Structure 1
Amino acid sequence: MIYYRQNGVPQFESTEFNNKTKDYCLLIPIINEGDRIINELKRAKYNNVSDLVDIIICDGGSTDGCTEITRLKSLGVNTLLVKQDVGKQGAQFRMGIWFAFERGYKGIITIDGNNKDSIEDVYKFIDKLEEGYDFIQGSRFIKGGKAINTPIIRYLSVKLLHAPVISLTAKHRFTDTTNAYRAYSMKYLKDKRVQPLRDIFQTYELLAYLSSRATQIGLKACEVPVTRAYPKNEKTPTKISFFKGNSDLLKILFNNWMGKYNII
């Protein structure tokens, strides 16, 4: 089914393998992740993740065959959303959030689709959502978390720049703010002071914004321990280019700190 572009939501195609079956959904943004997303979904299937959440793939327009319908269905995916519009990760998340709104989920969990994160830890986010937390950040840097083969430049940028700036903006200490493994309550996402479905969120703006907005407006936030493992002796799986990508991230951090994305 095609959902045509509307204010704050890109045009996208939806292929639903099942109706809504769980209270929570897991949004996985991907584009040409190849075997990485397949291996991640195999881990999810082995650990019965689809017994806890509806798995929704938010594809940016992959052309490498990783979204082959029969295989996704066999691996426990509930729905495939394919963006047919402008924008990158932010647009993929916006179509996923809108779809979750329409289905009436109680909350949303997100995770990267490059098989770096411990997808088997989904239950930790659900537990915190059930406890009444509105924003739950996965962290490899707190007790119980594991950071495996983290590139030194990534480690330093998170520890010395990204996490301190987001924590300052949020007025709440977070330790692993570049990590997209996190969860949001519907109370948070539907708050009129938040409004995530805006076209200003095209790339990584939405992740930065949602990292800090919850505590700014007095909602409950916490971290849960997760594992993030980078492949050893292989190219780091990322969509962020070293110079332009990191420059853009710095600009986003600054804009977020200055309140550019806030609803007045």
Structure 2
Amino acid sequence: MADATRLSLVIPAHNEAEGITPTLRAFSARLRAEGIPFELVVVDDHSTDGTAEVLAGLSEELPELRRVENPRPGGFGHAVLAGLEQFNGDAVCIVMADASDDPADVVTYYQRLSEGFDCVFGSRFVRGAKVVDYPRHKLLLNRLANTFIRLLFGLRLNDTTNAFKCYRRGVIAGCQPLLSKHFNLTVELPLKAIVRGYSYTVVPINWYNRTTGVSKLKLKEMGSRYLFIVLYVWLEKVLSRGDYSRRSGDASGRVSGDVRR
């Protein structure tokens, strides 16, 4: 890849001592096998279960591993923001610590970036995707929320809420300021990237429900926060008249036609 030679994986981790080791080993092994230069930036989000000790023990086995602490209040969005401030790569992929994301999909993301896209968005709900043991109540809410976002913005992307996406470094800079402090960051980043004119493609991905630990997403707490950030970015799209978009004539705005529903 000419202009994204090193890939950073930002992995927020709160009390993931039980499951973080196989996750890091799996991603490391796959990326090494593919010859992809990478780093694993694990953001320890105020863990109290020995996550820090587990990561320290893995540091010799995995030289690409960097543990950073979340200096902000605890929470997914705060942890991801800390990682986005400290990654060193030319592109960054946000990955869950609970093994719900597939290392093979990160390879696909990297390959699609090499085709010139600014962002690669995975979807769990297109042909070729695989979803294992998704809780039914969460699935229903997911589909309702994503349908609302897709219709409001006129998108082909149907899995905006999934955090597992990949961005070039310039996209992260171009989407500032990032306002979300919670899981709604997963929506703010891709929507801002799209509204601000960065090119993207959508690919099918695999998702597996966690087998260790406890999910940190609290649905009752997040509804208003998701709605706020969705409407905030929509207002930027409608009212800004392109003031925050990339200049015309570059690669921005290009969307892959290979998304399959």
Residue in structure 2 matching 1:57, options 42, 51, 61: 42
What is aligned with 1:183?
Answer: 166
What is aligned with 1:239?
Answer: 216
Structure 1 residue 254 displacement after superposition: 4.0
Give the TM-score normalised by the residue count of structure 2.
0.77
Q: Decide which moves more: 84-93 or 23-32.
A: 84-93
Q: Secondary structure at the match of 2:194?
A: helix
Q: Secondary structure at the match of 1:132?
A: coil
Output one character per residue of 1:89-113: Cα deviation in whole Å (capped at 9) or x when no partner.
Answer: 222222212212xx3x321111111
What is aligned with 2:206?
Answer: 227
Identify if the C-alpha distance between structure 1 residues 76 and 138 changes in structure 2 by more than 3 Å, giving closer, same or farther: farther
What are the residue-to-residue correspondences of 1:147-162 with 2, within 5 Å?
A: 147-161=131-145
Q: Does 1:29 align with 2:16?
A: no
Output one character per residue of 1:163-214: Cα deviation in whole Å (capped at 9) or x when no partner.
Answer: 12332454322122222111011232222xx214x5x331123221112122
Q: Does 1:217 align with 2:196?
A: yes
Output one character per residue of 1:59-99: Cα deviation in whole Å (capped at 9) or x when no partner.
Answer: 21112112321224424542111113225222222221221
What are the residue-to-residue correspondences of 1:3-152 with 2, within 5 Å?
A: 23-49=6-32, 51-52=35-36, 53-68=38-53, 69-100=56-87, 103=88, 105-152=89-136
CA distance in 2 between partners of 1:236 and 1:184 (Å) = 28
Q: Secondary structure at the match of 2:52?
A: coil
Structure 1 residue 253 displacement after superposition: 3.5
Q: Secondary structure at the match of 1:81?
A: strand
Structure 1 residue 54 displacement after superposition: 1.0
CA distance in 1 between partners of 2:120 and 2:149 (Å) = 14
Q: How many aligned positions are there? A: 232
Identify if the C-alpha distance between structure 1 residues 195 and 169 changes in structure 2 by more than 3 Å, giving closer, same or farther: farther
Please tell me the residue identity of whatever aligns with 1:230: N
Identify if the C-alpha distance between structure 1 residues 72 and 64 changes in structure 2 by more than 3 Å, giving closer, same or farther: farther
List 4+ stretches of structure 1 deviating above 3 A. 48-51, 168-171, 234-237, 245-260
Output one character per residue of 1:91-140: Cα deviation in whole Å (capped at 9) or x when no partner.
Answer: 2222212212xx3x321111111111112321111111111112211122
Q: Which runs of 5+ in 2 are unaligned?
A: 245-261
Aligned-residue identity in percent? 24
Q: Secondary structure at the match of 2:147?
A: helix
Give the TM-score normalised by the residue count of structure 1.
0.77
Please tell me the residue identity of whatever aligns with 2:182: T
RMSD: 2.7
CA distance in 2 between partners of 1:108 and 1:178 (Å) = 17
CA distance in 2 between partners of 1:43 and 1:28 (Å) = 13
Identify if the C-alpha distance between structure 1 residues 252 and 239 changes in structure 2 by more than 3 Å, giving closer, same or farther: farther
CA distance in 2 between partners of 1:113 and 1:173 (Å) = 28
CA distance in 2 between partners of 1:129 and 1:111 (Å) = 17
Identify if the C-alpha distance between structure 1 residues 177 and 38 changes in structure 2 by more than 3 Å, giving closer, same or farther: same
Report if aligned partners of 2:109, 2:120 keep a CA contact under 8 Å in 1. Answer: yes
CA distance in 1 between partners of 2:74 and 2:190 (Å) = 20
Structure 1 residue 40 displacement after superposition: 0.9
Identify if the C-alpha distance between structure 1 residues 36 and 250 changes in structure 2 by more than 3 Å, giving closer, same or farther: farther
CA distance in 2 between partners of 1:237 and 1:228 (Å) = 16
Report if aligned partners of 1:45, 1:76 keep a CA contact under 8 Å in 2. Answer: no
Q: Secondary structure at the match of 1:74?
A: coil
CA distance in 2 between partners of 1:237 and 1:249 (Å) = 21
CA distance in 2 between partners of 1:152 and 1:236 (Å) = 19
Q: Secondary structure at the match of 2:140?
A: helix
